[in-house]
């Protein structure tokens, strides 16, 4: 039965012998584990296609709905987090695998005649992969996405002559990013790049088949078949890659940040890790020289990569004898590694609560005092009687929430005002702020509660919330030291003559938490 | 002998390839099915909406009420116009029908001549208590949850009517 169906298919389409022809290709006896990376890269691309289509089925590709729909995917849909995690980590995974594939081909000298065109197509595929990363970065439309892309467009804007045109092409008038840029990036990400990539991957594979898998300099044994020996090795490598990807997607949560806010000047933009070295490189070139870091050096690097098969025309030799190639790889690795490390070191770390208003930090205190954690987990996978706050969005109206708090935590010494503030906080809960519930230090929380209790916010502001008659407290930790602050609380006029601030005589413990809170206000 | 071991090795390789590919497909496919087929986490429940004034309704005289309702539509919260046919059946008893024909979803309207709700699409008609009188409609008109509070008529969710 099966045979007769296969015979029919073979007779009418030739598909069976086509597949056989593909599987029973002759490959050199030396082929083995070092040549699995091309297949792994292709499989990564396949995973990106599948997860990308799934995301697109529940995604509104325009701001600000883009953010809301991704949030819907993450908080409302079954496996939404997993699929987004696979797509996010899959992108990084693909960069790593494509990079390794390039490295292997380079080290083994597999770009040599007659495989020059295969290599150059490969370089284009690497650039397309980076293009996917660049355009996809904007699509969550959170602060990270927005500000990261602002930096990218500003860099391109500085290109000589072409700058304004590239900017125009990106749908940006003067370096600003709006719906038009978003549409261009989305269009490129889902309509332009995927078919281009498929076409070029097809050509790349065609060329590999045309010239055959690159042999070792000396082949002594007769050729072998691609299937099943090499296919098995490819599959094992794919399986290992996919296992790591799946583990990353389930265990390392990719937060969706606050919706893109062009007025948020405190956000520190950083590109994705694989672009960090370029970001760091720019710091060495200032003013008119900036173009060297942003255009010239990357341009030269890509050019050299393209020209590699024409620069090195020597006969194929064993890997161990390719000392110059190994030297270049080591040099590039050290350069890339140190630039990336330097960039990561210089990235200031900001705890989520540091962008909170005092009311919000105090709400964390109410959550803890109300022992809400008895029923609600706040870290992924923490199963408790009530919904885990790390997995859901809170849709309930404020009054319904307050009623819920009064019913379940009414006897824990919290006032109605605190319940209302907690309700406001909960309705805005997102991936970033849920972390704060678990991680904000105790004395900082008590400090914020003291701040609220003493109505400091009537005159002072923290993160743009509060009164204007006193100085804003952001950056107070940089302006004043602990001794000054403590003395100032007790006798403001002694430290800043003419101040209208009344003196506050705190108990020792309260003073300590107040100072601890003030010391977190660094910028 | 050598041929036999070679055959065994080949069987092992082909089996492992299938097992690994199968595992990957399941790890991708099952979450994908859940993602596409399992309904969202949030329970959809509308608030009670004040739709009509009891004192202005006449007994057994269906009245079309247009009201605004707030609904979560996926990732959006939409305010939209909705309609109901409200029938006062007693002193403080009210039923409210969804104006959607149970056949293919056209809007039904009250025909005061023969006292039926008539569908313009395939001539289904329904009696004032929602039962099918004629036409292809498979079941009675769907009803809103109704609550009467003093003279206020409040509408809740639409409940699907039983077959028959």
Three-state SS annotation for A190-230? HHHHHHHHHHHHHHHHHHHHHHCCCCCCCCCCCCEEHHHHH
Q: Does A60 reach chain B within 8 Å, measured CB to CB?
A: yes
Q: Which residue has the higher pLDDT, A218 or B34?
A: B34
Q: Does A77 reach chain B within 8 Å, measured CB to CB?
A: yes
The confidence score (pLDDT) of residue B37 equals 95
Owner of token pair 């006449």: B58
The confidence score (pLDDT) of residue A77 equals 95
Tell whether the model's pLDDT for residue A494 goes beyond 60.
yes
Across the A:B interface, residue pairs with CB atoms under 8 Å apart total 71
Q: pLDDT digits over A5-20, tens only?
A: 999 999 999 999 999 9
Tell whether the model's pLDDT for residue B161 goes beyond 90.
no
* Chain A contacts in chain B segment 36-55 (CB below 8 A): 36, 38, 40-42
pTM over 0.95: no
Q: Which residue has the higher pLDDT, A317 or A338?
A: A338
Owner of token pair 């099966």: A2
Quote the minimal CA–CA distance from A190 to chain B in Å.
Answer: 19
Is B27–A47 a contact, with Cβ atoms under 8 angstroms apart? no
Residues A125, A500: Cα–Cα separation, whole Å? 65
Is B20–A58 a contact, with Cβ atoms under 8 angstroms apart? no
> Average pLDDT for residues A469-485, to the nearest whole number?
92
Q: What percent of chain B has pLDDT over 90?
A: 54
Residues A192, A211: Cα–Cα separation, whole Å? 29
> Average pLDDT for residues A305-309, to the nearest whole number?
95
Q: Which of A66, A78, A81, A249 to mutate to test the interface with B (most CBs of B within 10 A)?
A: A78
CA angle (A518, A520, A521) in 5-degree steps: 70
Q: Concatenated DSSP letters for A291-319? A: HIIIIIHHHHHHHHHHHHHHH--PPP--G
Structure token digits, residue B151: 């003279």
Q: pLDDT digits over A336-351, tens only?
A: 999 999 999 988 888 8
Nearest residue to A432 (alpha-carbon basis) of A276, A261, A279:
A261
The C-alpha R_g of chain A, in whole angstroms, comes to 29
Q: How far is CA B66 from CA A436, B52, B141, B162, in A?
A: 45, 9, 17, 25
Q: Which residue has the higher pLDDT, B161 or A205?
A: A205
Q: Does A65 reach chain B within 8 Å, measured CB to CB?
A: yes
Q: What percent of chain A has pLDDT over 70?
A: 100
Q: Over chain B, what is the mean pLDDT? A: 89
Contacts of B21 in chain A (CB under 8 A): 235
Residues A393, A69: Cα–Cα separation, whole Å? 12
Structure token digits, residue B53: 């004034």
Quote the minimal CA–CA distance from A6 to chain B in Å.
Answer: 19
* Chain A contacts in chain B segment 113-142 (CB below 8 A): none
Q: pLDDT digits over A39-97, tens only?
A: 999 999 999 999 999 999 999 999 999 999 999 999 999 999 999 999 999 999 999 99
**Residue among B14, B34, B41 minimizing CB distance to A392:** B41
Q: Which residue has the higher pLDDT, A155 or B2?
A: A155
Q: What percent of chain A has pLDDT over 90?
A: 78
Is B72–A77 a contact, with Cβ atoms under 8 angstroms apart? no
Owner of token pair 């720019």: A282
Q: Does B56 reach chain A within 8 Å, measured CB to CB?
A: no
> Average pLDDT for residues B26-32, to the nearest whole number?
97
- How many residues can be counted in chain A? 523
Confidence of residue A135 (pLDDT cuts 50, 70, 90): very high
H or E element in which residue A462 lies: strand A461-462
Cα dihedral A133, B35, A256, A374 sign = negative
Q: pLDDT digits over A368-402, tens only?
A: 999 999 999 999 888 899 999 999 888 888 999 99
Residues A327, A107: Cα–Cα separation, whole Å? 10
The confidence score (pLDDT) of residue A173 equals 79
Tell whether the model's pLDDT for residue B42 goes beyond 90.
no
Residue of B nearest to A77 (CA): B40
The confidence score (pLDDT) of residue A219 equals 87
Quote the minimal CA–CA distance from A395 to chain B in Å.
Answer: 9
Tell whether the model's pLDDT for residue A322 goes beyond 80.
yes
Nearest residue to A507 (alpha-carbon basis) of A456, A447, A452:
A447
Confidence of residue A26 (pLDDT cuts 50, 70, 90): very high
Tell whether the model's pLDDT for residue B44 goes beyond 80.
no
Residue of B nearest to A387 (CA): B41
Tell whether the model's pLDDT for residue B41 goes beyond 80.
no
By the 8 A CB rule, do A495 and A506 touch? no
Residue of B nearest to A394 (CA): B42
Q: Concatenated DSSP letters for A56-98? A: HTT---STTHHHHHHHHHHHHSTTHHHHHHHHHHHHHHHHHHH
Tell whether the model's pLDDT for residue A318 goes beyond 90.
no
> Average pLDDT for residues B85-106, to the nearest whole number?
91
Q: Does B66 reach chain A within 8 Å, measured CB to CB?
A: no
**Residue among A72, A76, A78 minimizing CB distance to B34:** A78
Structure token digits, residue A107: 């080290």
By the 8 A CB rule, do A118 and A204 touch? yes
Residue A263 Cα to chain centre, angstroms: 22
Q: Which of B12, B18, B41 to mutate to test the interface with A (most CBs of A within 10 A)?
A: B41
Is B28–A47 a contact, with Cβ atoms under 8 angstroms apart? yes
Q: In what order do the strands lie in the sheet with B152-159?
A: B49-53, B152-159, B143-149, B94-97, B76-88, B63-73
Tell whether the model's pLDDT for residue A416 goes beyond 80.
yes
Confidence of residue B29 (pLDDT cuts 50, 70, 90): very high
- Cβ neighbors of A320 (< 8 A, separation 6 or more) are none
Q: Over chain A, what is the mean pLDDT? A: 93
The confidence score (pLDDT) of residue B59 equals 86
Residues A465, A227: Cα–Cα separation, whole Å? 66
Confidence of residue A476 (pLDDT cuts 50, 70, 90): very high
The confidence score (pLDDT) of residue B45 equals 66
**Residue among B10, B24, B35 minimizing CB distance to A79:** B35
Is B74–A69 a contact, with Cβ atoms under 8 angstroms apart? yes
Q: pLDDT digits over A148-188, tens only?
A: 999 888 888 888 888 889 899 999 877 789 999 999 999 99
Contacts of A239 in chain B (CB under 8 A): 20, 23-24
The confidence score (pLDDT) of residue A95 equals 97
**Residue among B13, B32, B41 minimizing CB distance to A76:** B41
Is A76–B27 a contact, with Cβ atoms under 8 angstroms apart? no
Quote the minimal CA–CA distance from B26 to chain A in Å.
Answer: 12
By the 8 A CB rule, do A511 and A486 touch? yes
Q: Which of B35, B43, B77 to mutate to test the interface with A (most CBs of A within 10 A)?
A: B35
Q: pLDDT digits over A350-361, tens only?
A: 888 998 999 999
Q: How far is CA A234 from CA A87, A89, A110, A376, B21, in A?
A: 22, 21, 18, 44, 11
Is A68–B75 a contact, with Cβ atoms under 8 angstroms apart? yes
Q: Does B14 reach chain A within 8 Å, measured CB to CB?
A: yes
Q: Does A71 reach chain B within 8 Å, measured CB to CB?
A: yes
Helices A37-56 + A80-108 axis angle, to 10? 150
> Average pLDDT for residues B70-83, to the nearest whole number?
88
Owner of token pair 């979803």: B105
- How many residues can be counted in chain B? 164
Contacts of B72 in chain A (CB under 8 A): 395
Confidence of residue B43 (pLDDT cuts 50, 70, 90): low
Q: Which residue has the higher pLDDT, A432 or A140?
A: A140
- Cβ neighbors of A265 (< 8 A, separation 6 or more) are none
Q: Which residues of chain B form beta strands (DSSP E)?
A: 49-53, 63-73, 76-88, 94-97, 109-111, 116-118, 125-126, 132-134, 143-149, 152-159
Residue B138 Cα to chain centre, angstroms: 15
Least confident residue range of A145-159, A291-305, A499-513:
A145-159
Residue A484 has a CB neighbour count (10 Å cut-off) of 13
Q: A337-344 — which CB contacts under 8 Å span 24+ positions?
A: A339/A276, A339/A277, A339/A280, A339/A281, A340/A273, A340/A276, A340/A277, A340/A280, A342/A280, A343/A270, A343/A276, A343/A277, A343/A279, A343/A280, A344/A273, A344/A276
Query: What is the DSSP secondary structure assignment for residue B142, as one 8-state letter?
Result: P
Least confident residue range of A206-210, B87-91, B97-101:
B87-91
Contacts of B41 in chain A (CB under 8 A): 75-78, 392
> Average pLDDT for residues B18-22, to the nearest whole number?
97
Nearest residue to B127 (alpha-carbon basis) of B66, B67, B85, B83:
B85
By the 8 A CB rule, do A19 and A206 touch? no
Q: How far is CA A273 from CA A125, A129, A189, B98, in A?
A: 19, 14, 19, 55
Residues A228, A241: Cα–Cα separation, whole Å? 20
Residue of A nearest to B37 (CA): A78
Is B32–A50 a contact, with Cβ atoms under 8 angstroms apart? yes
């Amino acid at each position: 039965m099966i045979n007769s169906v296969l015979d029919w298919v073979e007779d009418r389409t030739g598909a069976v012998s086509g597949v056989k022809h593909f599987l029973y290709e002759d490959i050199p006896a030396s082929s083995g584990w070092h040549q699995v990376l091309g297949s792994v890269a292709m499989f990564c691309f396949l995973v990106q296609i599948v997860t990308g289509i799934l995301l697109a089925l529940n995604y509104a590709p325009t701001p600000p709905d883009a953010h809301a729909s991704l949030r819907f995917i993450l908080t409302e849909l079954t496996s939404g987090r997993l699929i987004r995690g696979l797509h996010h980590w899959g992108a990084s995974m693909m960069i790593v695998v494509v990079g390794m594939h390039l490295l292997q081909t380079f080290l083994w000298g597999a770009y040599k005649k007659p495989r020059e065109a295969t290599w150059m197509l490969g370089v284009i595929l690497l650039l397309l992969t980076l293009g996917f990363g660049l355009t996809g970065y904007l699509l969550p439309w959170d602060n990270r996405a927005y500000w990261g892309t602002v930096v990218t467009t500003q860099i391109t804007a500085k290109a000589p002559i072409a700058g304004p045109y590239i900017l125009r092409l990106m749908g940006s008038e003067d370096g600003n990013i709006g719906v038009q840029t978003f549409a261009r990036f989305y269009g490129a990400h889902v309509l332009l790049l995927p078919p281009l990539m498929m076409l070029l991957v097809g050509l790349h594979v065609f060329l590999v088949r045309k010239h055959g898998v690159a042999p070792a300099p000396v082949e002594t044994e007769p050729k072998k078949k691609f299937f099943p020996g090499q296919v098995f090795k490819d599959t094992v490598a794919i399986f290992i890659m996919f296992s790591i990807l799946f583990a990353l997607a389930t265990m390392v949560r990719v937060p969706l940040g606050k919706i893109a806010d062009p007025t948020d000047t405190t956000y520190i933009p950083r590109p994705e890790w694989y672009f960090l070295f370029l970001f760091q490189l720019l710091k060495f070139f200032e003013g008119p020289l900036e173009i060297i870091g942003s255009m010239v050096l990357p341009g030269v690097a890509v050019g050299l990569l393209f020209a590699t098969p024409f620069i090195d025309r020597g006969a194929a030799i064993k890997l161990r004898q390719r000392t110059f190639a190994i030297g270049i790889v080591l040099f590039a690795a050290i350069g890339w590694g140190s630039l990336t490390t330097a960039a990561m070191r210089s990235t200031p770390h900001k705890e989520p609560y540091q962008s909170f208003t005092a009311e919000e930090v105090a709400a964390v205190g109410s959550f803890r005092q109300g022992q809400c954690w008895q029923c609600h987990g706040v870290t992924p996978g923490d199963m408790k009687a009530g919904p885990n706050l790390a997995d859901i969005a809170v849709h309930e109206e404020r009054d319904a929430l307050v009623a819920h708090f009064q019913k379940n935590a009414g006897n824990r010494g919290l006032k109605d005002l605190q319940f209302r503030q907690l309700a406001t906080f909960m309705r805005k809960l997102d991936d970033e702020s849920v972390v704060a519930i678990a991680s904000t230090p105790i004395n900082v929380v008590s400090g914020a509660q003291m701040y609220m209790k003493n109505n400091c916010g009537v005159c002072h502001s923290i993160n743009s919330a509060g009164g204007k008659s006193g100085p804003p407290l952001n950056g107070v930790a940089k302006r004043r030291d602990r001794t000054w602050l403590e003395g100032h609380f007790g006798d403001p006029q002694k430290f800043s003559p003419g101040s209208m601030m009344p003196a506050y005589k705190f108990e020792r413990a309260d003073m300590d938490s107040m100072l601890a809170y003030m010391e977190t206000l660094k910028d | 002998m050598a041929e036999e071991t070679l055959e065994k090795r080949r069987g092992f390789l082909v089996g492992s390839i299938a097992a690994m590919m199968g595992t990957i497909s399941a790890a991708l496919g099952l979450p994908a099915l859940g993602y596409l087929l399992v309904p969202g986490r949030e329970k959809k429940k509308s608030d009670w909406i004040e739709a009509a004034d009891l004192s202005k309704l006449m007994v057994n005289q269906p009245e079309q009420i247009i009201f605004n309702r707030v609904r979560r539509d996926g990732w959006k919260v939409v305010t939209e116009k909705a309609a109901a046919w409200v029938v006062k059946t007693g002193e403080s008893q009210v039923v409210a029908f969804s104006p959607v024909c149970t056949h293919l979803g056209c809007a039904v309207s009250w025909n005061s001549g023969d006292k039926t709700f008539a569908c313009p699409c395939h001539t289904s008609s329904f009696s004032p208590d929602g039962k099918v009188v004629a036409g292809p409609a498979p079941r009675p008109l769907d009803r809103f949850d109704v609550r009467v509070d003093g003279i206020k008529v409040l509408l809740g969710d639409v409940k699907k009517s039983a077959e028959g």
